[in-house]
Structure 1
Amino acid sequence: MAETLLVAGTASHVGKSTVVAGLCRLLADAGVDVAPFKAQNMSNNARAVVSGDDWGEIGVSQYVQARAAGITPTTDLNPVLLKPRGDTESQLVLDGEAVGHYDAGSYYERHWEEALEAAVDAYNRLAAEHEVIVAEGAGSIAEINLHDRDLANVETARFADASVLLVGDIERGGVFASLYGTLELLPEDLRDRVAGTLITKFRGDPTLLEPGIEELESLTGVPVVGVLPYKDPGLPAEDSVSLPPEGQRAVRGEDDYPPAQSVTVGVPRLPHISNFTDMEPLRNAPGVRVAYLPLYTPSLDADAVVIPGTKNTVDDLLALKAAGFDEHLTAFEGPIVGICGGYQMLGREITNAAVESTAAHDRVEGLGLLPVKTRFQSDKAVRQTTVSVEGTGPIAGATGRATGYEIHMGRTTQLTDAAEPLDDGSTATESVLGTYLHGLFENRAIREAFLDVVFERANKERPATAENRESPYDAAAALVSDIDSDWLAAELGYPADGTVSPT
């Protein structure tokens, strides 16, 4: 069976996903057969991956980590996925398949044992096929109110017989207290499994931390195995914690270009936003900024708009209208792209809406920017797909083939003849495109065509496309290479000279 390391955290958003991805790439580059794993994930950023002879959903971080490890992503990497669709309710996805919507009480009372069984079975399959498993915990491992049902942390450490690397984020402040307090609150058997702690997101001179590190190690007996600098390797974010709070505008992307060579792509900050990782290829393009816009905004102040996916299309559409954002879109003269739920919003109507919405709406009027209608159905489309491209409108000039994935419950049909630039049921006018293809802008031809249109409509000169941009997987590996190599050798068989040796 595989050696297993659980990367656990003192809190959410401390860098666990990045550390796992970096370790997967570091080990894979050294010739280790490694796989990522997360028993239970809560995220609306999902990917369609292999599930037996079909397709299923996993959290985007495990997809990214699989790519870093150089293996085919499957649903075994994330057997339990919870996709929030309201304040108290989530869709439960087991082994890639959606099985229903439940509040927290119902999940723990009726489905947790089933989820645990799915997680154990998935782990055992992975452990039989790979030398090393790098597992990711969820949130904080010290949630003492959940220790009897903490699938991603406590149960994973136990059923995987895992060593634990505890990660604390110094940018939040109080990192020594967080690490010490977390260790003190762990059940004794888990405390004994903690082989090291790791400090992330540090800015400045690491030697300033040495007195604190020495005292922490003296108090706990657990070594601090690294201090990682504050650096974003460019990996997709797992959840909306990484986004600005609702009501705040935040801009991400290139800042090194003058106004005459830069554009802004506006993205409405939907209450139930999902798969916003679709924007990552845009924000990484030279001269492009992605601005997450509050729905209550006085103006769009953007050169193009992309309406992202959402776990709750109807309620987010109603929220968008209530804020008056629909009026901004109607008056907007630049390119508009809607992906998945965003596509559904752009049509004239949505019917059978109660299937998807937490509110009992049967028919909801759309934004009316595309001549289509959407009807929700109980069965869910989940698949990877390759489509033909004959670009028009916002992606004019794009041709060839494009790959991506679909995750949706609605079925959209055209009400009048209109252009279909991608043969996935997409629809386009001169300025508006709607498509179900997630990963749209990961396709170079489509991304380049879209940005050409955006810069041209904005009457700005587009800067040259950067060549040889560093892989985010390699950047993550470089980041975690600061972890003590002797410690990695002891825990996972990864020695300092980069060659493989048995644990």
Structure 2
Amino acid sequence: MTDHPHSDDAATILVAGTASHVGKSVVTAGLARLLANRGVAVAPYKAQNMSNNARVVVSPEADGTGAEYGEIGVSQYVQARAANVTPTTDMNPVLLKPRGDGESQLVIHGQADEHLDPGAYYDDHWETAREAAIASHRRLATEYDVLVAEGAGSVAEINLQDRDLANVETARFADADVVLVGDIERGGVFASLYGTLELMPEDVREQVEGMVINKFRGTLSVLEPGIEQFEELTGVPVLGVLPADDPGLPAEDSVSLPSVGEHTVFGAEDGVPEAASVTVAVPRIPFISNFTDLEPLAMEPGVRVEYVPLDVNLAEFDAVVLPGSKNTVDDLLALQEAGFDSELRAFSGPVVGICGGYQMLGDRIEDAGIESTAVEGTIDALGVLPVVTTFSAEKEVTRTTCQVEGQGPIAGAAGSAAGYEIHMGATAFREALSHPLEPTSAQQGDVLGTYLHGLFENESVREAFVELLFERAGLDRPAGGERAASPYERAATLLETNLDLGAVDGLAPFFD
């Protein structure tokens, strides 16, 4: 353990992991809410994230970009909400958005840069990314008492330790107290934790303040002898054991979704029988992004969101939502090859396309070669909305609030709706259409296209859509149903009940 003194600025707690998907995001969000509930000024931070699930947030003037808004990974957006603070681009200064073929788009301080393969990133851009990460951390550290930093993947990737921005570098430049999380559900948790400690750089290993064992399903008394031996062997305390209890935080990326060609249903655990439920089909496109747009629907009692293979028969579903896409053209080609275009044109229920899904609903996409090497000029789209999208290299990144004039799939919705836009290209209308949301939205009959991510987070829109589905299905909407409890409070309670957080140096003043 380290006894290094903290600076006069914020204490930084780095939540690192033995691997990806071990629960770092849950621990980070839970700790942020727990501290916020105790009156601590706390903010999330992740030096470098890799995700196609992004949110548009405020970009501080001090970042030098001159832009009002920028993109960050969805986990840091969620963690900022957990901390009850306004999310900014400083909370995720470096974002890599995978686009296939080993390339990712580099986003620094919220602003999109070029597409790079790993070699080009590490050889030519990593130092710039590191400087951006340090600058963001410094700004946050002057504003808050505690920064809860989320690591990425494993903290012990020995081939990357000289350029591991989210883990090793963050631990060093932030002088962070490290909390290491391991997933017992995978098996071999003690070996994973021990091996990770052994492979960490010596200076960073000295900063490890404690371990968390996550996703435990057994009897704790059976595990305790192993914990005692582990602590004697390593000299590092186990802060506690978290049960396998998903608080329902939005997923970071498509690791939580089925592979292309498979299907998974969300929302079926609400206790409403399948015969009394409605089901929304979401095609599992290869380059899906911002799929968290669908999570508010899956939280509604009696609503099931089913990610389906592209050759699905849509006749059994109550609605279709086409989600966002990182590679709209390539996903459109995949849908057409599977025959989804014919299925969709024959479908008689409500259809909603969001962002890339909206662009795919149109008649065609022009200048498609700007995004994809598969097509040089114009490509026919799915042909269910009379609109045409023309791509350009310029990217629209903005927060949006619009008046709602509910029609079509959201008939009855009113008031205002808030969300964000991240897209390339502009959409034009081939004939007179209704615009129930932002001026660029389009509705005809049961088909709605919009660039507004976060659409179903707006209660009026969500309620109108869900009511329409139950009405069309001839079903009574489940009465007295309650939406799931706050995932932030659930995550906080999970930590407060099971972990000795006062054993961490930087947290001790808040957990006496």
Question: What TM-score do you get using the length of structure 1 for normalisation?
Answer: 0.96
| In structure 1, C-alpha distance between the alignment counterparts of 2:466 and 2:509, rounded to whole Å | 43
Encode CA deviations 1:16-51: one digit per residue, 9 max, x unaligned.
111100000000100111110000000000000001
1:4–1:133 CA contact under 8 A, matched in 2: yes
Higher deviation after alignment, 294-303 or 316-325: 294-303
> What does residue range 276-295 of structure 1 map to in structure 2 within 5 Å?
276-295=291-310
Higher deviation after alignment, 1-10 or 321-330: 321-330
Higher deviation after alignment, 225-234 or 367-376: 225-234
Matched letter for residue 28 of structure 1: A
Deviation at 1:496, TM superposition (A): 4.3
Deviation at 1:366, TM superposition (A): 0.5
- Taking structure 1 as reference, are residues 236 and 494 closer, same or farther at Cα in structure 2, changes over 3 Å only? farther
1:233–1:472 CA contact under 8 A, matched in 2: yes
Establish whether residue 236 from structure 1 lines up as the match of residue 244 from structure 2.
no
2:209–2:504 CA contact under 8 A, matched in 1: no
Deviation at 1:467, TM superposition (A): 4.0
Per the alignment, residue 320 of structure 1 pairs with: 335
Establish whether residue 23 from structure 1 lines up as the match of residue 37 from structure 2.
no
| In structure 2, C-alpha distance between the alignment counterparts of 1:339 and 1:10, rounded to whole Å | 35
Deviation at 1:218, TM superposition (A): 1.8
| In structure 2, C-alpha distance between the alignment counterparts of 1:436 and 1:358, rounded to whole Å | 24
| In structure 1, C-alpha distance between the alignment counterparts of 2:70 and 2:128, rounded to whole Å | 18
**Equivalent of 1:39, from 44, 47, 56?**
47
Per the alignment, residue 198 of structure 2 pairs with: 184
Per the alignment, residue 108 of structure 2 pairs with: 94
RMSD: 1.4
- Taking structure 1 as reference, are residues 359 and 334 closer, same or farther at Cα in structure 2, changes over 3 Å only? same
| In structure 2, C-alpha distance between the alignment counterparts of 1:56 and 1:114, rounded to whole Å | 17
| In structure 2, C-alpha distance between the alignment counterparts of 1:296 and 1:184, rounded to whole Å | 47
Encode CA deviations 1:78-104: one digit per residue, 9 max, x unaligned.
000000111311110000000111111
Report the 3-state secondary structure (helix = DSSP H, G, I; strand = E; otherwise coil) of the residue aligned with 1:399. Answer: coil
Deviation at 1:329, TM superposition (A): 1.1
| In structure 2, C-alpha distance between the alignment counterparts of 1:64 and 1:151, rounded to whole Å | 21
**Equivalent of 2:57, from 44, 49, 58?**
49
2:71–2:89 CA contact under 8 A, matched in 1: yes
| In structure 2, C-alpha distance between the alignment counterparts of 1:495 and 1:78, rounded to whole Å | 25
Deviation at 1:358, TM superposition (A): 4.1
> What does residue range 480-499 of structure 1 map to in structure 2 within 5 Å?
480-485=495-500, 487-488=502-503, 490-496=505-511
Question: What TM-score do you get using the length of structure 2 for normalisation?
Answer: 0.94
Report the 3-state secondary structure (helix = DSSP H, G, I; strand = E; otherwise coil) of the residue aligned with 1:20. Answer: helix
Deviation at 1:312, TM superposition (A): 0.4
Higher deviation after alignment, 483-492 or 344-353: 483-492
Establish whether residue 11 from structure 1 lines up as the match of residue 14 from structure 2.
no
Q: Between the two proteins, what is the percent identity of the paired residues? A: 64
Residue-pair matches, total? 497
Higher deviation after alignment, 142-151 or 323-332: 323-332
Higher deviation after alignment, 453-462 or 299-308: 299-308
Matched letter for residue 402 of structure 1: A
| In structure 2, C-alpha distance between the alignment counterparts of 1:281 and 1:488, rounded to whole Å | 37
1:226–1:482 CA contact under 8 A, matched in 2: no
| In structure 2, C-alpha distance between the alignment counterparts of 1:244 and 1:209, rounded to whole Å | 32
Per the alignment, residue 103 of structure 1 pairs with: 117
Report the 3-state secondary structure (helix = DSSP H, G, I; strand = E; otherwise coil) of the residue aligned with 1:199. Answer: strand
> What does residue range 207-286 of structure 1 map to in structure 2 within 5 Å?
207-255=221-269, 256-286=271-301
1:488–1:495 CA contact under 8 A, matched in 2: no
Per the alignment, residue 59 of structure 1 pairs with: 73
| In structure 2, C-alpha distance between the alignment counterparts of 1:117 and 1:300, rounded to whole Å | 53
Structure 1 segments unaligned to the other structure (5+ residues): 498-503
Per the alignment, residue 4 of structure 2 pairs with: none
Deviation at 1:294, TM superposition (A): 1.5
| In structure 1, C-alpha distance between the alignment counterparts of 2:240 and 2:376, rounded to whole Å | 52
Report the 3-state secondary structure (helix = DSSP H, G, I; strand = E; otherwise coil) of the residue aligned with 1:493. Answer: helix
- Taking structure 1 as reference, are residues 148 and 490 closer, same or farther at Cα in structure 2, changes over 3 Å only? closer
Encode CA deviations 1:179-207: one digit per residue, 9 max, x unaligned.
11111111111111111111111113222
Report the 3-state secondary structure (helix = DSSP H, G, I; strand = E; otherwise coil) of the residue aligned with 1:390. Answer: coil
1:264–1:303 CA contact under 8 A, matched in 2: yes
Encode CA deviations 1:270-302: one digit per residue, 9 max, x unaligned.
111000000110010001111111223355632
Per the alignment, residue 481 of structure 2 pairs with: 466
Matched letter for residue 417 of structure 2: A
| In structure 2, C-alpha distance between the alignment counterparts of 1:465 and 1:45, rounded to whole Å | 32
**Equivalent of 2:399, from 384, 395, 402?**
384
